[in-house]
Structure formats: structure tokens, C-alpha cells
Structure 1
């Protein structure tokens, strides 16, 4: 089982076409979202055994988000519920499909996340990222979960998916981010993340591997053992990039699990051709997500062959 820990939210995506589309104030379409939520849904759609660990609202948005997890086959037994509202993220989509966000997260359900007593016995990996590692008091609970499970020997993936508008003290966040790295097996960064954080981390106490997403220029992996492999992006007509990085997370976790490589030793044993295959699979999955509005990760059938 792969556990994904972090927030769910509602993306409010502007409509470009149709009634209410365009203009200075376009209509907004609510879509399920949140980096960890998208990763969990993508894992379920790919056929992985996945669970979501979070606190979700009992409001209408929370019910819809929970239904989305269940439809994707994701285990929701680690989801706590509360009456607090669901976080809203208002997306601004550029001409190239890239997305920026404004967040309405004050007093939302995920911020009251508490450390679970234990993860299910079948758990082999746990993934973290985005707003849930910034917004307190929940951020500290997610951090404790990361450290606890890493020290129990679980494979850990971290995708900081940096949202600068949510970070009041950038230097303090960068210092905190650096403190997580000894407990991270696989780190996924976008080029924007890497620039904001001050570069791609390396060194003997860092992650076993770092995957860097480079937009239309593809993906690159750098391993602690010195392997570096790049693959091109898959050409596609881009609707938007919402959920593309989250799909990469899920595709990598699913492919590593299929290879029996969900461990630091498993990553170390992968050679260049194996990494090329893994990154190619992730690139194809992300391309499908980019071809559709909002975070709509692919199903396994769409990636066969």
C-alpha cells in the first residue's frame, strides 16, 4: 500500500469558453484538487493500492472530494472529518497552460490534521507535499508523520510544490525543508521549486534520488550514486498543467512499486535504462493530464502500450 498524506481542496478553474467564459471575471468551475489528493487519485486510477491520510470537511465540497477518492479505489480509512470548511484555490491559467493560485485556507479542515497512531500494516511508502507542509498546526503533524515513518523504514516521497504566497517566512521554510531531506527517499521538484529553494539538493545525507520536472523540456533524475538520466516531454495540446506534477508523483510511485523498488536500495539498483523507462512512463501520464482541464489524471488503460 502507498499512503498519500496531505491536503485536499477545491480548485476554482476559470472557464475560457462557453457561457461565462472570458472577460475580466470569468466563471469558475469547481474541480477536486490539492497536490496530495491528486496524487492519491492518480495512484488509484493507475491500479495501485493507495490510501489517503488527511482531515477533510463534512461540507458539500468535502463529500465530493471523498467520493472522488472512493471512485478511484483509494482507501479512506485514514481520513478524519470535521465541520471546518474545505480549502479553496482560485486558479489563474496562463496562455501556455501554466497555473498560479490564490488560496482561501483560513480555518479549513486540513489545518487541524492530527498525527495518526499508526499507518496500516501493508503500508510500504508514504508521500507528502504542498500546502499541508506549510499551514499550521497541521504542518507539524505531517512533519512528525514523515519523520516517524522514515525512521520505521518506509519509502518516502516529498514534493514541496512550493506556493510562495502561503509562506510568510521564506528563509524559515527553506531551513525547515532542508531538515526534512535526511528522511526523504525520493524528492520531486519542479524547476520553479528548485530556483525558489536555492538549487537541487545533493549530498550523502540527502534523498536517494531527485526527479526534476522541466515542463515542456521533460524530466531529469539525479541519484546519490551519480546516475543522471533525462527524457523529453511527450508533445500534447495543453489545456492546462493543473495536476501534472502530482501525476508524475503517482506514476513514479506506481512504477517503482511494480518493480519492487520502493526502498533506497531499490532506487540505488536502478540503472540508466530503468530510469529512462520510469521517467518515460511518468512523462506520458503527465501529458495526458495536461491535455485535459483541471486535475484529471489518466487511467491505466490509457497508458498501456
Structure 2
């Protein structure tokens, strides 16, 4: 079983204007929320660990998790608002975000309220702005420190400067969590934002030296790269008619974790020992899954039958 930790919110897509009216289209979202649903759709047992509001939007988030087959026993409910992520998709299909979430429920979990995990939990995934805003950031770091010797830790920074504008804060948390995690996935956009002038090989090598076993960098239409103790592997991106890229990175992460589970390599030593052929297979499976999400609007992650053989 997987535990996915982080924020749950509503993505509100900005549509056409009609007179003085602006058409809005709201969808449940948040990077970790999407990863949890992605894992469930790909046939993996998964539960969500995060704060959800006791309001009408929070009720809807809770209902969506349950309907998608994501466990909610580790969800904590709060008398606080639900975060809203306003999304405007550009002509190139790339989303631009503005977040409204100060004091929202997905930020309120504390370290002393962390649950004990069942022995069936094989891996924990965390990421995005829940790892930098307090008190939840300290709680998730405490969870990782408590569990990293017992389960695989996966991490995707998923930088959102419009939530936490301090690059230095992000760098500090990314360096800490990349050293604690066993599997680190980052987009080239995020990597170059935080580490301008640092070569990709140098960054991956630093994280491997700090404790990561497998580092993956996604490159959008240019494919993806991965590094472990065996070396570097690169793949090209599948061809796809891009509608938008919302949820593509979350799909890539959910599919990567699914491939590791299905191939019985969901442990740190196995990640370090994956040869180039198997790393390439992992990247291709994840990239194909992400391409399916890019071919439709919003974070509509694929189901296992759509993806095909791992």
C-alpha cells in the first residue's frame, strides 16, 4: 500500500468572459491529491494523508477520494477553508496558477497528530507546497524521518512560488527532503528555477550522494532522464496532441510508483541496482501515462487498462 501526503484543493479554471461574468470551472486537485487518485486508477492500494476542510468543498474532496478508491482513514478534517488554485491555461497548453490558501485545512496537520502506519504500507509519497508551508511542512518532514528506514520514500518538489515566494525556503526544504527520500522526481523547469547554472548531472549526483537511490528529471516534450548508481538513462517523449499539461507530472509520478510496485522493486536497494534497460522501461511507462493525461483537459489521469503493459 501507498500513503500519499500533502495538499487537497480545488483547481478553478478560468474560462471565457461574457459581459461582466467570468466563467469558472472547478475541479478537485492538488499535486498529492492527484498522485493518490493516479495510483488508485492504476490499480494500486493507496490512502491519502492530508488535511481536508469541514466545508462544502472539503466534503466534495473527501467524496472524490472515496469514489476513486483512495483510503481516507488518514485524512484529518479541520474547521478551516479549502485552498483554491486559480488556473489559467495559456495558448501553449501550459497552466499558470494563483493560490488562495492562507490558514486553509491542507496546511494544518501537526507533527504530534501524525498517525501510526500499518505494516502494509510499503511506500510514502509527498511533495508540492505542503512541504514548505507550516505547520504541515514540519509534520511531513518528521514523518519521513520516522519512516525512511522502514519504507520507501518518494518525493516530488513541484515548486509553487505563488504559494511560497522564497526560493531560499524551497531550496532548503528540497535539499533536506531530497537527501531523506529514496526516489526523487523533479521537472527540469523546477530544477532550473531553484538551481540556475547547475548542470543536471551535478544536481542528480549531489542528491544521490546525499541518500537518494534514483533521481528522475522530466523534460516535458523533450522526454525524461534518470540517474542511479548504474549511471544515466534518457528517453524521448511520446508524441501526443497536447490539450493541456495539467496533472502530467502527477501522472508521471503515480505511474513511476506503479511500475516499481508491479516489478517488485519498491525498495531503496532495488532502485540503486536497476540497470539501464529497466530504468528505460520505467521512464517509458511513466511518460506514456503522462502523455495520456496531456491529451485531455485537466488532471484526468489514466486508468490501468488505458496505459497497457508495464
Normalising to structure 1: TM-score of the pair? 0.93
**CA displacement 1:118-153 (0-9 Å, x = unmatched):** 112211100011110121111111111122111x32
1:211 paired to 2:207 = no
- Measure how far apart 1:175 and its partner are: 2.2
Normalising to structure 2: TM-score of the pair? 0.92
2:227 corresponds in structure 1 to: 222
1:47 paired to 2:43 = yes
Q: Which runs of 5+ in 2 are unaligned?
A: none
- Measure how far apart 1:26 and its partner are: 4.4
State how 1:183-222 maps to structure 2 within 5 Å: 183-198=180-195, 199=198, 200-203=203-206, 204-222=209-227
Number of residue pairs matched by the alignment:
299
Tell whether the 8 Å contact from 1:51 to 1:74 is kept in structure 2 after alignment. yes
State how 1:168-187 maps to structure 2 within 5 Å: 168-187=165-184
2:134 corresponds in structure 1 to: 136
Match 1:154 to one of 142, 151, 155: 151
2:278 corresponds in structure 1 to: 274
1:294 paired to 2:293 = no
State how 1:229-268 maps to structure 2 within 5 Å: 229-268=233-272
Tell whether the 8 Å contact from 2:183 to 2:212 is kept in structure 1 after alignment. yes
Tell whether the 8 Å contact from 1:134 to 1:166 is kept in structure 2 after alignment. no
Mapped to 2, the partners of 1:23 and 1:148 lie a distance apart of: 55
Tell whether the 8 Å contact from 2:159 to 2:170 is kept in structure 1 after alignment. no
SS in 2 for 1:228: strand
Tell whether the 8 Å contact from 1:39 to 1:246 is kept in structure 2 after alignment. yes
Flag the 1:178–1:29 CA change in 2: closer, same or farther, 3 A.
Answer: same
Tell whether the 8 Å contact from 1:36 to 1:129 is kept in structure 2 after alignment. yes
- Measure how far apart 1:269 and its partner are: 2.3
Tell whether the 8 Å contact from 2:230 to 2:273 is kept in structure 1 after alignment. no
Tell whether the 8 Å contact from 1:10 to 1:32 is kept in structure 2 after alignment. yes
SS in 2 for 1:78: coil
After TM superposition, the structure 1 stretch with the greater mean CA deviation from structure 2, 67-76 or 239-248, is 67-76
1:5 corresponds in structure 2 to: 5
Flag the 1:22–1:244 CA change in 2: closer, same or farther, 3 A.
Answer: farther
SS in 2 for 1:85: coil
Mapped to 1, the partners of 2:262 and 2:17 lie a distance apart of: 42
SS in 1 for 2:162: helix
> Cα RMSD over matched residues?
1.7
Flag the 1:207–1:28 CA change in 2: closer, same or farther, 3 A.
Answer: same
SS in 2 for 1:211: strand
State how 1:26-37 maps to structure 2 within 5 Å: 26-37=22-33
